[in-house]
Amino acid sequence: MVASRTLGPMPLDLDLTLSSTALVTATLNEPMLPAILHEKIERAAAYAKAARAGATRRAYDSDWAIFTLWCAQHGLASLPATPDVVAVFASDQASTGLNPSTINRRVAAIGHHHRAGGYPAPTAMPAAGRLAEVLAGIRAEHGGAKRQKRPADAAALRNMLAAIEGEGLRALRDRAILAIGMAAALRRSEIVALQVEHIGIVPEGLRLTIAHSKTDQTRQGIVIAIPEGSRIRPKALLLAWMAAAGHAEGPLFRRLSRLDALTPAPMSDRAIARLVQHYAAAAGYDPTQFAGHSLRAGFLTEGASQGATIFKLQEVSRHKSVQVLADYVRNADLFNDHAGQRFL
């Protein structure tokens, strides 16, 4: 166990050596911030907080709470924490079976809270070499191939849509969610963030405005096209939902009561994941192999298998890097023009 030393409180007699005259002088010479400046500082802090995605902030807050509790249980200082303390914490987390990516995020959360408190991140301290070695060792010993969820490609999605019975509000909404989520390669957070005013109806299909997403933290927004379609028919399914719901503004996909009555509240991103798994099971698939990301992955998988270029896929998916898209294309082409085709 590596302990860290914390500075104790300042001696009381140091304060007592200051005379009342000195205290008055210090108070008079202390520049006072006007109230309006305090407001500006608070606003700046709010902007700084908004710069980080909401899901990331929640994860960082949770990670920081776990770290501070661990430090308290071991009698160690959490702020500031030495690199050795963070190294022991990371090693302890790995011994519980936590995957390396989560451990790396927790170390990043520790660094974030240190910087917010006016301290350097433990990974940036001069003695951070051992911490880096520990993290590398955790990745080497506990790392492995990522467990990807199954993509809801065209065939899977058509089966899932066919498993939705009836023409009630819930059936119409859920068909539209599956179709639009896949057709626009949307993240589940992007699905629930859609507003009615983000939908543009054109003869060719739909013009969908993504006002804010994981890769668009500056909220510049981007418009993507969704063809009318003749198999999945995303435009028709969305218009059917909008006509039945009848709301002209606000969240596009709303929560329904247990009696399937429309509410003004948007759905949660977790509800999207549950919805995908529910209809995957209804279509005869193993629901544990599917998640909310299956819709986005389904578009990329199907697009690559149909010969779409990386750049055309990127127009819809809005990936900043083409590396992920290159993997989709490579997987689709694994058996095409195979080097061993003529002799195996």
The burial class, CB within 10 Å (0-12 / 13-18 / 19+), for 159 is middle
Residue-wise pLDDT for 255-275, tens only, equals: 999 999 999 999 998 999 999
Cβ neighbourhood burial of 48 (10 Å; 0-12, 13-18, 19+): exposed
Q: Burial, 28: exposed, middle or buried (Cβ in 10 Å; 0-12, 13-18, 19+)?
A: exposed
Query: pLDDT tens for residues 110-124?
Result: 999 999 999 999 999
Q: How far apart are CA 331 and CA 234, in angstroms?
A: 26
Beta strands in 121-192 (DSSP E): none
- Domains of the chain and CATH, by start: 37-142 (1.10.150.130), 154-332 (1.10.443.10)
pLDDT for residue 197? 94
Q: What is the pLDDT of residues 296-339, one digit of tens each?
A: 999 998 988 888 888 888 889 888 877 777 878 777 777 777 77
Which DSSP helix (H) or strand (E) runs through 265? strand 262-266
Give me the sign of the Cα torsion angle 213, 219, 225, 228.
positive
Task: Show pLDDT as tens, one digit a residue, over the chain (344 residues).
Answer: 444 444 334 333 333 333 333 333 334 444 455 555 656 555 555 555 555 556 677 888 999 999 999 999 999 999 999 999 999 999 999 988 888 888 999 999 999 999 999 999 999 998 888 899 999 998 888 766 555 788 999 999 999 999 999 999 999 999 999 999 999 999 999 999 999 999 999 999 999 999 876 655 556 778 999 999 889 999 999 999 999 999 889 999 999 999 999 999 999 989 999 999 999 999 999 999 999 889 999 999 898 888 888 888 888 988 887 777 787 877 777 777 777 777 78
Structure letter (DSSP) for residue 251: B
C-alpha span between 22 and 134 (Å, rounded): 50
- Give the CA count within 13 Å in the CB-facing half-sphere of 60: 16
Whether the model pTM is above 0.85: no
Taking the CA atoms of 90, 92, 93 and 97 in sequence, report the sign of the dihedral they define. positive
The torsion of the CA quartet 5, 9, 13, 16, rounded to 10 degrees, works out to 150
Kindly write down the DSSP assignment for every residue of 43-84, as one continuous string: HHHHHHHHTS-HHHHHHHHHHHHHHHHHHHHHT---SS--HH
Two tokens at 144?
A: 């492995």
Nearest partner of 90 among 198, 222, 299, 82, judged by Cα: 82
Nearest CA to 216 out of 234, 189, 177 is that of 189
